[in-house]
Amino acid sequence: MATSLKNLSSYDAANVPDASDMRFAIVVAEWNHEITFALRDGAVNTLLKHGADEGNILVDYVPGTFELTAGARAFAQTGKADAIIVLGCVIQGETRHFDFICNGVTQGITQLNTQYDIPFIFGVLTTDNLQQAIDRAGGKHGNKGDEAAITAIKMAALFKRVI
């Protein structure tokens, strides 16, 4: 969570496992693409920075944030990833649509985490306005994509150790 006390891109690199033997899938929502593509770039660059092979980072797209769950499940079924990162952005509007999308994708990703023996990383911004999203997609609060990639590496390492 980005607050005045925490930047999404700040972490201790010494506490991040080597990702050279890990495979990642990233599912990106095309809706709010100016934000989600910045999250994607942050995640990919962070994975590469920590040793992931470019050929072991699979990226694909779904139309919107609600579809992230189905896209992530499709990747899980291939068995080609040690962790799956979902990246989306939902910005509050004038209707309750925001609540339904946020609740649906949160529940969907949570359910996938209980159904598969790989971690699904929630990299979805749920903001009140476009500026908050910009601030969390490489702006003044860092990049949620960076945070999601670090979480994916750490969780993939955990699963390799215990499963």
- DSSP H helical ranges for 16-96: 33-49, 68-78
Q: Is 54 helix (H, G, I), strand (E, B) or coil?
A: helix
State the catalytic residue, choosing from 33, 50, 97, 141: 97
Q: How many residues comprise the chain?
A: 163
Residue 155 parent element (H or E) = helix 144-162
Phi, psi at 94, each rounded to 5°: -90, -5
Task: Tell how far CA 88 is from the center of its chain.
Answer: 8
Other CB atoms within a 10 A radius of the CB of residue 64 amount to: 16
Annotation marks residue 141 as catalytic: no
Catalytic machinery residues: 97
